[in-house]
Amino acid sequence: MADGSIEVYESEGRRFPPSAEFAAAALTNDRSLYDEADADFEAFWARQARELLTWSKDFDTILEWDLPFAKWFPGGELNVSENCLDRHVAAGRGDRVAYHFEGEPGDTRTITYADLLADVERFANVLKGLGLRKGDRLAIYMPMIPELPVAMLACTRIGVAHSVIFGGFSPDAITDRCVDAEAKVIITADAGYRRGEPSALKPNVDAALEVGAPSVEHVIVVDRCGTDPMMVDGRDHWWHDLMAEAEPRCPAEPMDAEQLLYLLYTSGTTAKPKGIMHTTGGYLTQVAFTHKYVFDLRPDTDVYWCAADIGWVTGHSYIVYGPLTNGCTSVMYEGTPDTPLPEHRDGDRADWRKDRLWDIIERYGVTQLYTAPTAIRTFMKWGDEWPDAHDLSTLRVLGTVGEPINPEAWMWYHRHIGRESCPIVDTWWQTETGGHMITPLPGVTTTKPGTATNPIPGVYAEVVDDDGNAVTEGGGYLTITKPWPSMLRGIWGDEDRYRDTYWSTYEGRYFAGDGARVDDDGYIWILGRVDDVMNVSGHRISTSEVESALVDHPAVAEAAVVGATDEITGQAIVGYVILRGTASASDDLREEIRQHVAKKLGATARPKAVFLVPDLPKTRSGKIMRRLLRDVADGHDLGDTTTLADPNVVEAIRAGAEAGDDD
Ligand code: PRX
């Protein structure tokens, strides 16, 4: 709104008017970055690259674009760890805190930029000592402890690409990812703390290696919880032993701007995860730019907190690379927002403290909080009294990411956490985009509860219809029309899949897989995935991945999986299973099948419910009608079932679902 006021949002007859104070503080309407980018988007990104980063050799070209393959800043050389650490220390900011670490049991560590650099140099020498060289890949499977960013940054110092595997994933996921990337080393910990207990990691690595990942020569283990894991002679090494023996200095090697920085595996519509490739110069430029402008960063005084897990792209870009490049102080925490107090270890969940986040914000004077809608909805459910008991007045900007945020949750966040005086940045982006793409900028964009608003300067998005024509008002598919610096450079080992998945649906455009709607202000409302990918608490899980895990159980003949609407997690996984003739239905078997999926894919992919059904609704051409299954799971009217081969199937399924619904 040109007058600088904030829109009053109406939803289903309810109005959400933010306070006058917020409206007044919100806007300067300074459009200069957008204007500059629109005049010449390549020159705009080149200026950001030179201003935000330190290059050991300047680039001679900004962008080489051979659709769908981009090279940003070719000819340029830089080192990521030098940008994140050395240059801040050299500028006299070595004593600045990089991370305030909060362990789950209540242990804390204060790590300065100088401390971090010292650890990274030593650990880079450890990696060299184990034979790792520029261009190699290694896997990281760690809890949220400071050794995790140390490991990542040490890789970047010597040009080794890391593949971080989320600590909640199962041994199978470790095997698959290590085999695909031909990882030479796995860095892990004995366990990490979660909900008051050590949650084992090293045993999962052992199980994964038993199945077989022949490229893995060494395993490095941090002793986080003292659980005394099995150690294989010659293969497994303690982190602390290797660090004690390593040389302290390791110069940062200049890397080509397009040097592979990391792989991060994400779910696709098939069972095989995709190794998303990110490279050096463009990636670092966009994450530094967005971290600075989207969070309205004041690096000398801010205490910034992204409460995500480094196992996801959010943590890569906005706990590690963005904040460190910008030289700011971050909070990093292990565990979950609710946690048992020592005296309630054995007690009921109701006795647990549910104000861990608010307590941390108050103690450190956190200025920006970045979290996910699923967490916000959980906080709402826990009740206002938890945040209301704390002084949250240091907060200046609130962020949300991972899934659409409903206006009610947005308003709750705005009122109870932001005290009606913090802009909320609803950031739309993906593992593939590397950094923020669509989000308000504090002080510039008029926000509206529930919309990510517009693309950042230098990024161009368009919502299109089925034929690829731009939609100026109404619903369609979200596409990106120009290359952007932190875009994925491909899928590891599968060029065709890269082209097919992202660039072939609409000619010349990147198709993000999300549905979106444009409103009469031109704002973009993300509606969620239109492919068979579910979004559970902001985690992408493909239906086919879970279906494969289900049919892997010996009692299962056929399976179909859908994402049902869930108040807290956004979507919840529901599996419909046809048993083999030899198996007989029972609650124990349903439970066993659910646990089987967790074992194969990790707890995040465990179905909330498994329904044992006599048949699945299929079209006459044999395609499973997921829409119907979703409707059954959501308890909706079924609408048109005339295209079904056997319309009676649905009623049988519905009867089975009602009988078996225990959640
Ligand atoms: O569907 C969109 C949703 O999350 C997907 C990307 O998931 P992932 O690669 O795991 O990255 C998550 C963290 C960036 C998108 O395709 N998504 C992400 N952010 C938003 C969102 N949906 C709505 N609003 C958002 N702000």
Q: Using alpha carbons only, give the angle 423, 424, 425 rounded to the nearest 5 degrees.
A: 115
452 Cα nearest atom in ligand 1:
26
Highest-scoring range by mean pLDDT, 7-11, 388-392, 657-661: 388-392
pLDDT, position 637:
62
Separation between Cα atoms, residue 489 and residue 352, nearest integer Å = 44
CA distance to 24, 395, 416, 425, per residue, from 16 (Å): 16, 21, 14, 17
427 Cα nearest atom in ligand 1:
26
Residue 465, in any domain of the structure? no
Nearest protein CA to atom 26 of ligand 1, as residue: 428
Residue 629, in any domain of the structure? yes
Confidence grade of residue 630 (pLDDT, cut at 50, 70, 90): confident
CATH number at residue 618: 3.30.300.30
- Give the other-Cβ count within 10 Å of 96's Cβ: 17
Take residue 612 and report the two structure tokens written for it.
């044992």
- Residue 400 CA, ligand 1 centroid: distance in Å: 10
Structural domain boundaries, residue 645: 534-658
Nearest protein CA to atom 18 of ligand 1, as residue: 402
Q: How many domains does the chain have?
A: 1
539 Cα nearest atom in ligand 1:
10
Q: Is 171 in the pocket of ligand 1 (CB under 6 A)?
A: no
Take residue 18 and report the two structure tokens written for it.
């933010």
- Residue 430 CA, ligand 1 centroid: distance in Å: 5
Residue 542, in any domain of the structure? yes
- Residue 506 CA, ligand 1 centroid: distance in Å: 20
Higher pLDDT, 534 or 133: 133
* b/e per residue 185-219 (b: at least 16 CB within 10 A): bbbbbbbbbbebebbbbbebbbebbeeebebbebb
Confidence grade of residue 644 (pLDDT, cut at 50, 70, 90): low
- Residue 132 CA, ligand 1 centroid: distance in Å: 34
Higher pLDDT, 27 or 178: 178
Residue 318, in any domain of the structure? no
User: How would DSSP label each residue in 434-453?
Assistant: -S--B---TTTSPP-TT--B
Beta bridge partners of residue 610, listed in sequence order: 575
Nearest CA to 285 among 558, 50, 85? Answer: 50
Higher pLDDT, 584 or 459: 459
pLDDT, position 472:
85
pLDDT, position 575:
92
Residue 401, in any domain of the structure? no
Q: Which helix (H) or strand (E) holds 576?
A: strand 570-579
Q: Is 425 in the pocket of ligand 1 (CB under 6 A)?
A: no
Q: Is 464 in the pocket of ligand 1 (CB under 6 A)?
A: no
Residue 386, in any domain of the structure? no
321-374 confidence digits (pLDDT tens) = 999 999 999 999 999 999 887 766 666 777 788 999 999 999 999 999 999 999
Q: Is 339 in the pocket of ligand 1 (CB under 6 A)?
A: no
Nearest CA to 602 among 144, 163, 201? Answer: 201
pLDDT, position 656:
61
pLDDT cut 90: percent of the chain above it: 69
3-state secondary structure of 310: coil
> CA torsion sign, 594 to 599 to 601 to 606?
positive
- Residue 402 CA, ligand 1 centroid: distance in Å: 4
Confidence grade of residue 31 (pLDDT, cut at 50, 70, 90): confident
Confidence grade of residue 80 (pLDDT, cut at 50, 70, 90): very high
Nearest protein CA to atom 11 of ligand 1, as residue: 430
- Residue 391 CA, ligand 1 centroid: distance in Å: 30
431 Cα nearest atom in ligand 1:
9
**Would you say 203 and 176 are in contact if contact means Cβ atoms under 8 Å apart?**
no
Does residue 108 register a pLDDT over 50?
yes
Residue 596, in any domain of the structure? yes
Take residue 576 and report the two structure tokens written for it.
């419909």
Residue 462, in any domain of the structure? no
Confidence grade of residue 23 (pLDDT, cut at 50, 70, 90): very low
Q: Which strands, in side-by-side order, build the sheet including 397-401?
A: 108-112, 97-102, 329-333, 303-306, 368-371, 397-401, 424-427
pLDDT, position 70:
98
CA distance to 45, 141, 179, 421, 613, per residue, from 284 (Å): 11, 23, 27, 31, 49
Nearest protein CA to atom 4 of ligand 1, as residue: 402
Q: Is 294 in the pocket of ligand 1 (CB under 6 A)?
A: no
**Site to substitute for ligand 1 among 535, 539, 571, most atoms within 8 A of C-beta:** 535
Q: Is 436 in the pocket of ligand 1 (CB under 6 A)?
A: no
432 Cα nearest atom in ligand 1:
9
Separation between Cα atoms, residue 92 and residue 660, nearest integer Å = 64
Nearest protein CA to atom 6 of ligand 1, as residue: 430
Does residue 576 register a pLDDT over 70?
yes
- Residue 429 CA, ligand 1 centroid: distance in Å: 5
Q: Is 313 in the pocket of ligand 1 (CB under 6 A)?
A: yes
Q: Is 267 in the pocket of ligand 1 (CB under 6 A)?
A: no
Query: What is the identity of the amino acid at 352?
Result: W
Contacts of residues 628-636 at CB distance under 8 Å and 24 or more positions apart, as own/partner, are 629/560, 629/562, 629/574, 629/576, 629/653, 630/562, 630/563, 630/564, 632/657, 633/562, 633/564, 633/565, 633/574, 633/609, 633/657, 634/564, 634/565
Confidence grade of residue 543 (pLDDT, cut at 50, 70, 90): confident
The position carrying tokens 């919502």 is 463
CA distance to 55, 257, 281, per residue, from 79 (Å): 8, 9, 9
Parallel/antiparallel/unpaired status of strands 108-112 and 274-279: unpaired
631-643 confidence digits (pLDDT tens) = 888 876 655 555 5
Averaged pLDDT of the chain = 90
Q: Is 486 in the pocket of ligand 1 (CB under 6 A)?
A: no
> CA torsion sign, 233 to 234 to 237 to 243?
positive
Higher pLDDT, 557 or 29: 557
Separation between Cα atoms, residue 488 and residue 268, nearest integer Å = 14
Separation between Cα atoms, residue 148 and residue 88, nearest integer Å = 20
